[in-house]
Chain A
């Protein structure tokens, strides 16, 4: 993949050229992060979030509700497993054929009149979209929900170029009013409760009377947005699944704003990560069934848009032009690693965060990342660099609640362990960004000392003897103990170890 930063105005020979240059390119990746292990501190921001009782209550209540709704949709464990097997197989098979399917998608879309553009970086994707808008004199954009556009920080970019970029998903609209980022990938305003939203609407929406009635609040937003849909020069959306065989873009939503954004304005721009492609329309059925049930506990969403081309000559509605922007942003690097590739199976349902005991307690903003929760914990470091996000990679007890509910069985704890390895070791041949930059001399020495003792039973025996004999005198000021005793007493070893007792007293008898 060449590294030019200009845009590609479509055509079947896209910039990405998947078949011509293999997706695996461990060398010469231009955006590989410089080795500065000083990214955001998850520990600090999580500690701050833990101190916010209202925030914690909002998340606990919301996540409990989502867990209950999901499990009600999967009453039979056997059926659930069969569906997960199918979903995992579909995503795995799609990824195995990714270069070929992307090429086919481009050909099918082009045949349907959808122009395809390839972007290696977020900057390229942003510039490309700006170019499309400027060329048509567009100054007002309405957006359906899209996490990829969050990844690109598209709103801020367009606004800096004088283009209004308005979120039309209710949750996204709420957080945009406060200049916030999504705290959840499906429910972006889940950190706010009704009262907080009522306050905000009365202050920020012109002529809005204060109300805590949910229907009235929704009607307020609807009134503003309806006008915006009619006035917009362009609409932007994400893509849940892109079907290679038919050139169909699938958009899953509940509010109808996705359909309005993609059908009312004359220009529709869709953005997707390059992993979103599937081979056939039949592949969408199991993924859709898993997505809606896992995400919000719905058997189906209110809308499933299948977008297959712009308005035809004899049609009364629909956009005049559709453009599809396919973004890499580190994904092809992830794709090149057989174990890490599983990250790209994700269908963005958010079930991992709904079930995560850490996410439930700290909320989405504490991650200081576009994608929070367990999936963010493995995706963000792979995109931004493992050293930069070392403390995020370690912000998990590896409890496995995420992979237990993941509809496409991404082994998130195993990938976290792998990334912990990558963060501290630069020796292995791998393409992980920032490899080895999280290594510290103190941790290195600690593990060497640990192994030196534990591979020598006599040294271990001696250590155990000291720990049990001097158990009352363990210095509480040791850094690790200080952390442990923030909420707990100092652990007290037994007076004699099991091994010492067996050595001295012999094996027990019954």
Chain B
């Protein structure tokens, strides 16, 4: 059950957007603001803790997660431009904090977490007007957005509102791009093969840009496309939506 339309929300930038895709963070904030929501961006944000959690270093993950939860004390939705980090906070914080003194706080926080496109569609029901030239794009679903968060076509619904955007689906849209955090460096041969296959799938669509909601997937596919000097860009969906819909 989506909450009633809030007037204020928190925005959590995530470390990958902070360091590699700051435009996507700004765009996400602006998409929310334009929908009539005041956005609060607390200082002190670092990382959701997922890398350590996924490797079994729970104490380290918890120590970091604890400092992050404390930045969002008010009972407001917390919006993330990342399916993976949102999945971590929403679904794995309750496990990570099980039996800890602050378990209840972690659970209450987790219940307020949304991925950006999910929030734009399910809660704010935004309407977008396309101002850009005709373009063909393709979409890569992140595994955690799909399977941890259960995203069901919200990004595609937003892209579908853009009159001049043609969405060419990947042949294997639900298949992992091979990022997997430390998997990409512990098993670089397997990970790299998966990433190359994903890039090839994207190139076969003849789109000019591959969009996703996750910094990890974007970095991964971007790295391969650049290494192959392929004629295709990657872009975070928030940045793409904002670019196409705001009057300069």
Contacts and interface: CB of A to CB of B under 8 A. Distances in A.
Interface string B185-212: 1111111111111000000000000000
Contacts of B53: 417
A385 to B, nearest CB: 15
A400 B143 contact: yes
B227 interface: yes
Given A489-B227, A494-B22, A510-B30, A361 B184 contact: no
B186 A391 contact: yes
B192 to A, nearest CB: 3
Contact of B191 (A397, A460, A490): A397
B188 A497 contact: no
B155 interface: no
Contacts of A487: 188, 191-193, 195-196, 223-224, 227
A401 B143 contact: yes
Given A397-B143, A401-B176, A507-B39, A498 B25 contact: yes
A488 B143 contact: no
B227 A502 contact: no
A464 B47 CA distance: 12
Contacts of A42: 187
A45 B174 CA distance: 26
B67, B186, B226 — most chain A CB neighbours (10 Å): B186
B240 interface: no
Q: Is the interface of B mostly helix, strand, loop or mixed?
A: helix
A343 B56 CA distance: 18
B56 A484 contact: no
Nearest to B57: A447
A394 B183 contact: yes
Contact of A499 (B43, B61, B179): B43
Interface stretch (A132-140, A236-244, A422-430): A422-430
Nearest to A449: B60
A493 B215 CA distance: 12
Contacts of B15: 454
Most chain B Cβ neighbours within 10 Å, of A396, A397, A454? A397
A224 interface: no
Interface string A434-468: 00000000010001101101111100100010011
Contact of A488 (B47, B61, B195, B197): B195
A507 B37 CA distance: 13
A365 to B, nearest CB: 14
Contacts of A421: 56-58
A304 B181 CA distance: 44
B243 interface: no
A396 B179 CA distance: 10
A501 B185 contact: no
Nearest to A427: B59
Given A396-B183, A401-B176, A489-B226, A467 B19 contact: yes
Contacts of A507: 29, 39, 41
Contact of A509 (B33, B47, B56, B178): B33
Nearest to A421: B56
Nearest to A416: B54
B73 to A, nearest CB: 16
A488 B192 contact: yes
A357 B178 contact: yes
Contacts, number: 208
Interface residues of A, number: 68
Nearest to B179: A397
Contacts of A457: 43-46, 67
Chain B interface size, as a band, is 35 or more
Given A484-B184, A486-B192, A496-B22, A510 B46 contact: no
Contacts of A357: 175-176, 178, 194
B127 interface: no
B19 A50 contact: no
Nearest to B175: A357
Interface string B55-69: 111111101101100
A464 B20 CA distance: 10
Interface string B151-189: 000000000000000000000001110111111111111
A496 B61 CA distance: 26
Contacts of B47: 454, 460
Given A396-B183, A480-B185, A487-B227, A508 B191 contact: no
B80 to A, nearest CB: 12
A397 B22 contact: no
A465 B61 CA distance: 23
A96 interface: no
B94 to A, nearest CB: 12
Which among B34, B61, B148, B180 has the highest number of chain A CB atoms within 10 Å?
Answer: B180
Nearest to A428: B58
A484 B180 contact: no
A43 interface: yes
Nearest to B51: A450
A221 to B, nearest CB: 34
A177 interface: no
Contacts of A467: 19
B68 to A, nearest CB: 9
Contacts of A219: none
Contact of A498 (B22, B184, B186, B220): B22
Nearest to B39: A507
Given A398-B183, A399-B147, A499-B18, A491 B219 contact: yes
Contacts of B43: 457, 499, 503
A505 B224 CA distance: 33
A398 to B, nearest CB: 6
A503 B26 CA distance: 12
B22 A501 contact: yes
A18 interface: no
Contacts of A29: none
Given A361-B190, A401-B143, A510 B60 contact: no
A230 interface: no
Contacts of B22: 494, 496-498, 501
Given A397-B178, A498-B18, A488 B185 contact: no
B82 to A, nearest CB: 12
Given A420-B54, A498-B13, A455 B184 contact: no
Nearest to B174: A401
A47 interface: yes
A362 B189 CA distance: 10
A483 interface: yes
A418 B175 CA distance: 24
Contacts of B67: 454-457
Interface string B123-161: 000000000000000000001101110000000000000
A358 interface: yes
7 contacts: A50-B189, A400-B148, A450-B52, A497-B19, A501-B22, A502-B26, A507-B41
Top 3 A-B pairs ranked by shortest CB distance? A397-B180, A488-B223, A487-B192
